[in-house]
Structure 1
Amino acid sequence: MTRAELYDLVWSKPMTEIARQYGIRDQHVAQACDAYDIARPRAGHWQRVEHGKSVETAALDNKNHSPETIIVIEPAPGKPGGLQRGDYGDAAKRCAA
């Protein structure tokens, strides 16, 4: 998925739900966010949302990476999960386990 798509995803639902949806660990989602300068919701964000309280959403910083940069999260060879970095242009890559 693109950086912009991952940004939208992490601000739309908790990372544990994202990880479960894609069959990966939430730590790998967090690593991808950190590697590509995607701000994540702070601790307590989803509890505040659940209780109808106001929350702040950080903007996507495009200083170091383009919003169209493709991010692939998949298990590294010989490891139970990992992050592969790269800009694959128009390739239709999706998160995979």
Structure 2
Amino acid sequence: MSISGIQGQLLEVTVVGCSRLRDTEWISRQDPYVCLEYASTKYRTRTCTDGGKNPTFQEKFVFNLIEGLREISLVVWNSNTLTFDDFIGSGRF
């Protein structure tokens, strides 16, 4: 796939949901959210309260493409009230 000529074009990314996430909760269902990063642009989905291992988000984000930069990073976290949020997983596409 060629990436020449993409500078300044827009890419819309939809975070649909997750399936079979690692469970970080002992007692209740986890409350996942997703963080996306491309260059200096960062986005975060809403927290899917009681989303468990298969949360749904259906949230759209728009990135301004940069010549030569080909990866978007994502990290899934479990939101906690009294302690630091728990890392669930990460990936790049």
TM-score relative to the length of structure 1: 0.26
TM-score relative to the length of structure 2: 0.27
Kindly name which structure, 1 or 2, has the bigger radius of gyration based on alpha carbons.
2
Q: Decide which structure has greater strand share.
A: 2
